Structure 1
Amino acid sequence: MKKKQVAISMGEPSGISSEIILKCWLDRKKFSCDPFFVVDDIIKLESINRIFKLGAKIATINCPEETKDVFNHSLPVLDIKKKNRI
């Protein structure tokens, strides 16, 4: 059976979910995480990454199917502010 894509929503914009998502991706190998993508504002994620000095690599994806190509080296993000979304 083919695995389904896992999407994580941004949660409360002023909450801590973005930091938790970034830290989860950084520990993806430690916990053997299946690939996932985030639906969020990429600028906000990059800002949190910088403020907390997490060092996560973040990449914009255009569709969920791109997750598998990006996940091993960058956190895949479906940017909510990108125009002409699917």
Structure 2
Amino acid sequence: MASFTLTELGNKSGEVIEAAFKGPVDITKHGKRKFVLMTAEQFDSLRRGGSQRAQWIEDLNEEERSELLAGLDALAQEDEQADD
């Protein structure tokens, strides 16, 4: 998940918004997560109980954690290939 400080939100708003189109963005203050920025569509999906769900990674068992990390690695590789 992308992360920006509150200062960066003010100074780099375009970059922060572009990141939010790709997925939720953490907004931090003094190194602590304070807000999450996401598109209205992402928010509406969460409110409807869509296929996405929020969960702390610490609450996942080892199999779930491995599956999640493998999926994230696959997405990162797709992004790298798209950038080439």
Q: TM-score, with normalisation over the residues of structure 2?
A: 0.25
Q: TM-score, with normalisation over the residues of structure 1?
A: 0.25
| Higher-Rg member (1/2) | 2
* Bigger fraction of residues in helix: 2
Structure with greater contact order relative to length (CA < 8 Å, sep ≥ 6)? 1
